[in-house]
């Protein structure tokens, strides 16, 4: 795909021409040449996007191959020569590097001119296809169409009373037949939610890991409130968490009987009457080995009517079906041979096409793939849909191939990687463009939604079907966008040093091998995964130096946290764009990273306090800078940041747990460049004592801001003028205020003078340990655009909340968690458009105001680990709405608190705050990569 290479080159040139670029002085003598180069490359990019859109056969033309190789070589040459100039150790080296740069610039201009002229000839021969426009709508319901009889039978099997041991119910069928979709439908069915005390889900996959299965199940049964351990310890922990409860366990995508044998003893059968285990598998052997006799559900191909109904719902959604499309549509649906995955993928391909000629063309393509092998047929259809994608979407979809099969990928992490790779157009709102690409892939049924935010407006995590994952791997191996390699050890018999002390001299980067390969699947060799820019020739083991220079992304891919790091060898990866060491604990910032001047994404994991070196400003391309903490008290430790960080003018996301941002350097100008963060989108967690007017003005474009500190920081809130300065953030949409290590304090650390202290743009507000009086919420109620309010542990102090103003005119979601609230008096006028009410760990509250039954917009009341009386009051509101003839609110009651537990927690409220909240923190802090993406529902929902 030549477009991806040209787009990446365009981004590089544009970054050099930016006025704020530190490279400005290096290219100032060649600015005209760069402008001319940019004009031709931009023209090539537009041309290729349309050219590739018309090439739906998947194979690259000779012209595309030529353009791809030229673009890759030009970008490689420019970045390498500039890196040599910047990193030269003395004047002589720098002078030689400048000479090489001038000579290389002449050559790259000739290379681009050659392919540009060729594109002009092609363009003259034919008309260009006009650019499509598309409105992106979040339409991500993966509901099953048809299968009603099987769904009802399964619900009956799961809830019917049986005597004796627990029952195991397999769902059997080929890949893409809809096993997981059916399992999810029943798992989330309201009758199942009410029937079982505990529900847990784990995806197993072909390459299974028992420990990962146990961790997934424990996350469902215990949330984040457990400590990881050995496999045996986790198995024991899981068994104890299920004992005496009626539970439903789903083990999705089991490939072998051995997997079942490895985990079955973890599921207790005594005193667990009515418990069920639901398996999905392609193997009848697994179903017979694990399942209870006569309880297996076999999923067969859809019949003609079911196929057409599924196709119609996917292709037209809520639109009326034009009559002229029905005949051709039914032909296409029939050619999919009743396989749901094939049907929805073809329908997704046609969703944006409303010309009958396009449908006829696709019908011919689908018919040409007719085969007696359903798996092969499905693979052909997926390939057809892939070939119809635009180049940027192809690159984004192929990125799923770098993750393991069936991996649930946090959306925020994925989108940021797309941005850093340069797959997207350089627009002011890269995040929105990345989100639109994801929504397009979802609309086409090529990507599946795994989890959504609590208010249903954001996608938290996503995945691809394993058949689509196979296609991504096949395309990746063709090397059109990037080459995927592993960095693995090759130890000689004479070299017995430990892996931790080895360096790159004893490492080799090998061409990517599938995980089934014995050598690569061995955990000793799964060290790092690397993505490389494709070149003229396939890279080989013998060309290690070239491999290093062409490496653009490195991810740690070990099976468990490590202390091994590339250390001094990082300097060899001169053109690296992404360095994700988020699972490797470090004590000292690796100074070699400072040589990676083209780096856009940097993620680190600190063990303790970490000092950022002054030379951080050398990473002038950095867009995403993340430092997580591995210690349980990570929020108590500051990360020290030098004032030179203001030189990172490309920065978009700065997430360092807890850090002090110094004032801007005197004059705020360095060599003609204003030092601030003009592109900043996210900052967390900023110490309140540094929120001076000067700092706030330096981050005035931020959209998501986290502020946090300890009891000492409380004292500085008034001094820094935090609540006077926030109003300058006129683009702020999400604000999180949280404080740490505060047990019992006599006064509220935060006082809100008026609603004008906050920007009018604020949509989401999260408070934790702010100990506000409940009466202060009358001020917050005046915020004109507030849609989400999360009152986390000890956000408010006191036992009674009685709103006195009509407010919260746009509030859709209210979360109240972990407080001493006993009495709540409110009416529908206080929350006129509320849609979701979430109550968690409210151990003293017994009643939701009955007036909530008059809130017509109310869709959900969720009561989690609260008194039984609170759940009963939610049911009364539901009944009241039914009596009034309104659509009743959905009520979910999770883990009701027993009377014994209630008395225990009355005596131990401080522990509740410190323990439960500490566990929730890691989850709620918008974690960068947490696969359990529910956890990250803090600032983004």
Query: What pLDDT is recorded for position 29?
Result: 76
% residues pLDDT > 90 (the chain): 22
- Report the pLDDT averaged over residues 405-428: 87
- pLDDT at residue 906 tops 70: no
Query: Of 797, 811, 782, which Cα lies nearest the Cα of 739?
Result: 797
- pLDDT at residue 424 tops 50: yes
Give 612 or 69, the one with higher predicted confidence. 612
Query: What pLDDT is recorded for position 454?
Result: 80
How far apart are the C-alpha atoms of 586 and 589, rounded to whole Å? 7
How far apart are the C-alpha atoms of 610 and 638, rounded to whole Å? 8
How far apart are the C-alpha atoms of 144 and 571, rounded to whole Å? 51
- Report the pLDDT averaged over residues 934-939: 39
How far apart are the C-alpha atoms of 563 and 585, rounded to whole Å? 5
- Report the pLDDT averaged over residues 728-752: 76
Query: What pLDDT is recorded for position 735?
Result: 96
657-697 tens-digit pLDDT = 888 899 887 755 444 445 689 899 999 889 888 888 899 99
Query: What pLDDT is recorded for position 786?
Result: 97
- pLDDT at residue 497 tops 50: no
Confidence tier at 518 by pLDDT (50, 70, 90): very low
Query: What pLDDT is recorded for position 181?
Result: 85
* 580: β partners: 555, 603
Give 489 or 747, the one with higher predicted confidence. 747
- pLDDT at residue 79 tops 70: yes
Query: Of 654, 594, 657, 648, which Cα lies nearest the Cα of 628?
Result: 657
**Between β-strands 448-452 and 459-463, what pairing exists: parallel, antiparallel or unpaired?**
antiparallel
Q: How many residues does the chain have?
A: 941
DSSP string covering 681-711, please? -EEEEEPGGG--HHHHHHTTT-SEEEEEE-H
Residue 93, token pair as written in the block: 């080296």
Confidence tier at 508 by pLDDT (50, 70, 90): very low
Confidence tier at 416 by pLDDT (50, 70, 90): very high
Q: Are 839 and 864 in contact (CB under 8 A)?
A: yes
Pick the most confident of 41-50, 276-285, 444-453, 873-882.
873-882
Confidence tier at 139 by pLDDT (50, 70, 90): very low
What is the overall mean pLDDT for the chain? Answer: 77
How far, in Å, are 286, 474, 686 from residue 638 at the CA level?
Answer: 52, 45, 10
Give 271 or 375, the one with higher predicted confidence. 271
- Report the pLDDT averaged over residues 347-357: 79
Confidence tier at 492 by pLDDT (50, 70, 90): very low
867-897 tens-digit pLDDT = 999 999 999 999 998 888 878 899 998 877 6
How far, in Å, are 325, 481, 568, 739 from residue 609 at the CA level?
Answer: 64, 39, 22, 18
Query: Of 10, 25, 15, 9, which Cα lies nearest the Cα of 76?
Result: 9
How far, in Å, are 126, 921, 935 from residue 926 at the CA level?
Answer: 49, 9, 8
Give 605 or 368, the one with higher predicted confidence. 605
- pLDDT at residue 318 tops 70: no
Extended strands (E) in 727-812:
734-739, 764-768, 772-773, 788-791, 796-797, 800-801
Confidence tier at 146 by pLDDT (50, 70, 90): low
How far apart are the C-alpha atoms of 55 and 387, rounded to whole Å? 8
- pLDDT at residue 526 tops 70: no
- pLDDT at residue 371 tops 60: no
Query: What pLDDT is recorded for position 766?
Result: 96
Pick the most confident of 237-251, 365-379, 405-419.
405-419
Query: What pLDDT is recorded for position 118?
Result: 82
Query: What pLDDT is recorded for position 600?
Result: 94
772-805 tens-digit pLDDT = 899 999 999 999 999 999 999 989 989 999 998 8
N-term to C-term CA, the chain: 35
Query: What pLDDT is recorded for position 734?
Result: 96
Give 553 or 335, the one with higher predicted confidence. 553
Query: Of 6, 128, 127, 129, which Cα lies nearest the Cα of 66?
Result: 6
Sign for the CA dihedral angle at 521, 523, 529, 534 comes to: negative
Per DSSP, 782 falls in state T
Query: What pLDDT is recorded for position 854?
Result: 93
- pLDDT at residue 540 tops 50: no
- pLDDT at residue 926 tops 70: no
- Report the pLDDT averaged over residues 462-476: 85
Confidence tier at 758 by pLDDT (50, 70, 90): very high
How far apart are the C-alpha atoms of 493 and 515, rounded to whole Å? 25
* 815: β partners: 790, 838
- Report the pLDDT averaged over residues 192-215: 84
Confidence tier at 534 by pLDDT (50, 70, 90): low
- Report the pLDDT averaged over residues 103-128: 77
- pLDDT at residue 828 tops 70: yes
Q: Which residues have C-beta within 8 Å of that of residue 680, sequence separation ≥ 6? A: 651, 652, 653, 654, 699, 701, 702
- Residue 303 sits at the vertex; the CA angle it makes with 301 and 305, to the nearest 5 degrees, is 145
Confidence tier at 473 by pLDDT (50, 70, 90): confident
- Report the pLDDT averaged over residues 440-451: 86
Give the SS3 label for residue 231.
helix
Residue 597, token pair as written in the block: 């001047």
Query: What pLDDT is recorded for position 736?
Result: 95
- pLDDT at residue 1 tops 70: no
Pick the most confident of 121-130, 136-145, 148-157.
148-157
How far apart are the C-alpha atoms of 582 and 630, rounded to whole Å? 10
- Report the pLDDT averaged over residues 634-650: 81
Query: What pLDDT is recorded for position 728?
Result: 93
Give 155 or 813, the one with higher predicted confidence. 813
Query: What pLDDT is recorded for position 925?
Result: 40
Confidence tier at 812 by pLDDT (50, 70, 90): very high
- Report the pLDDT averaged over residues 392-413: 90
Confidence tier at 631 by pLDDT (50, 70, 90): low
């Amino acid at each position: 795909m030549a477009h991806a290479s040209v787009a990446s080159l365009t981004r590089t040139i544009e970054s050099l021409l930016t006025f704020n670029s530190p490279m400005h002085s290096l290219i100032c003598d060649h600015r005209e040449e760069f402008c001319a180069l940019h004009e031709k490359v931009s023209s090539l990019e537009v041309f290729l996007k349309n050219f590739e859109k018309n090439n739906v056969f998947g194979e690259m033309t000779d012209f595309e191959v030529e353009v791809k190789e030229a673009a890759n070589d030009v970008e490689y040459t420019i970045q390498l020569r500039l890196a040599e100039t910047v990193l030269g150790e003395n004047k002589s080296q720098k002078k030689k590097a400048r000479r090489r740069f001038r000579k290389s610039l002449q050559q790259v201009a000739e290379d681009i001119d050659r392919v540009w002229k060729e594109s002009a000839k092609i363009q003259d021969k034919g008309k260009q296809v006009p650019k499509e426009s598309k409105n992106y709508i979040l339409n991500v319901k993966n509901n099953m169409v048809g299968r009603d009889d099987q769904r009802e039978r399964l619900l009956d099997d799961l809830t019917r009373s049986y005597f004796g041991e627990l029952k195991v119910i397999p769902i059997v069928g080929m890949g893409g037949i809809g096993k997981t979709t059916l399992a999810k439908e029943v798992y989330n069915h309201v009758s199942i939610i009410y029937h079982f005390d505990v529900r847990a889900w784990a995806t197993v996959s072909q390459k299974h890991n028992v420990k990962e299965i146990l961790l997934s199940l424990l996350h469902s049964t215990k949330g984040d409130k457990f400590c990881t351990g050995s496999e045996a310890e986790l198995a024991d922990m899981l068994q104890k968490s299920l004992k005496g409860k009626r539970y439903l366990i789903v083990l999705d995508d089991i490939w072998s009987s051995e997997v079942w044998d490895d985990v079955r003893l973890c599921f207790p059968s005594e005193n667990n009457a009515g418990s069920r285990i639901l398996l999905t598998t392609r193997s009848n052997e697994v179903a017979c080995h694990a399942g209870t006799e006569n309880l297996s559900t076999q999923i067969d191909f859809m019949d003609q009517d079911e196929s057409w109904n599924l196709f119609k719902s996917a292709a037209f959604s809520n639109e009326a079906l034009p009559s002229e499309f029905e005949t051709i549509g039914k032909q296409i649906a029939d050619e999919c041979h009743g396989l749901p995955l094939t049907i929805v993928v073809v329908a997704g391909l046609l969703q944006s096409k409303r010309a009958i000629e396009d449908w006829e063309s696709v019908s011919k393509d689908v018919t040409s793939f007719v085969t007696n092998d359903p798996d092969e047929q499905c693979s052909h259809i997926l390939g057809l849909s892939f070939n119809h994608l635009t180049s940027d979407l192809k690159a984004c979809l192929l990125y799923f191939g770098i993750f393991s099969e069936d991996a649930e990928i946090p959306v925020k992490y994925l989108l940021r990687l797309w941005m850093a790779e340069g797959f997207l157009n350089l627009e002011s709102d890269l995040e929105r463009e990345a989100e639109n690409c994801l929504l397009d892939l979802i609309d086409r049924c090529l990507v599946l939604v795994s989890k959504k935010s609590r208010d249903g407006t954001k996608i938290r995590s996503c995945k691809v079907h394993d058949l689509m994952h196979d296609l991504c791997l096949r395309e990746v191996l063709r090397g059109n966008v990037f080459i995927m390699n592993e960095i693995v050890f090759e130890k000689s018999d004479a070299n017995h040093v430990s892996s931790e002390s080895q360096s790159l001299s004893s490492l080799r980067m090998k061409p990517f091998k599938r995980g089934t390969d014995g050598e690569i699947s061995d955990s000793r060799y799964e060290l790092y995964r690397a993505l490389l820019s494709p070149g003229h020739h396939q890279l080989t083991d013998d060309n290690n130096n070239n491999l290093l220079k062409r490496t653009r992304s490195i991810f740690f891919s070990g099976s468990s946290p490590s202390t091994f790091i590339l250390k001094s060898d990082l300097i060899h990866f001169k053109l690296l764009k992404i360095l994700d060491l988020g699972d490797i604990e470090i004590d000292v910032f690796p100074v070699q990273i400072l040589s990676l001047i083209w780096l856009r994404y940097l993620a680190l994991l600190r063990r303790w306090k970490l000092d950022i070196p002054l030379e951080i400003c050398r990473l002038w391309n950095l867009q995403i800078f993340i430092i997580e903490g591995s210690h349980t008290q990570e929020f108590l430790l500051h990360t020290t940041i030098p004032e030179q960080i203001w030189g990172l003018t490309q920065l978009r996301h700065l997430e360092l747990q807890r850090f002090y941002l110094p004032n801007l350097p005197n004059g705020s100008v360095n060599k003609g460049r204003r030092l601030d963060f003009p592109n900043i989108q996210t900052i967390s967690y900023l110490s309140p004592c540094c929120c001076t007017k000067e700092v706030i003005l330096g981050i005035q474009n931020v959209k998501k801001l986290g502020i946090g500190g300890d009891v000492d920081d409380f004292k500085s809130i008034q001094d820094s003028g935090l609540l006077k300065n926030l109003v300058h953030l006129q683009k702020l949409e999400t604000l999180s205020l949280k404080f740490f290590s505060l047990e019992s304090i006599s006064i509220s650390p935060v006082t809100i003078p008026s609603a004008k202290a906050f920007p009018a743009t604020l949509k989401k507000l999260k408070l934790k340990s702010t100990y506000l009086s409940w009466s202060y919420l009358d001020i917050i109620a005046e915020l004109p655009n507030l849609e989400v309010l999360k009152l986390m542990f000890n956000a408010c102090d006191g036992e009674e909340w009685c709103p006195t103003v009509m407010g919260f005119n746009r509030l859709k979601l209210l979360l109240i968690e972990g407080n001493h609230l006993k009495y709540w008096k409110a009416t529908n006028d206080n929350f006129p458009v509320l849609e979701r009410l979430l109550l968690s760990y409210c151990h003293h509250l017994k009643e939701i105001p009955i007036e909530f039954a008059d809130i017509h917009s109310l869709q959900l009341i969720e009561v989690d680990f609260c008194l039984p009386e609170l759940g009963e009051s939610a049911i009364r509101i539901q009944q009241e709405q039914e009596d009034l003839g309104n659509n009743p609110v959905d009520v979910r009651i999770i883990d009701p608190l027993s009377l014994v537990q209630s008395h225990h927690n009355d005596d131990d409220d401080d522990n509740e705050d410190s323990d439960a909240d500490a566990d929730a923190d890691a989850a709620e802090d918008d974690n960068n990569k947490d696969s359990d993406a529910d956890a990250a529902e803090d600032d983004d929902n």
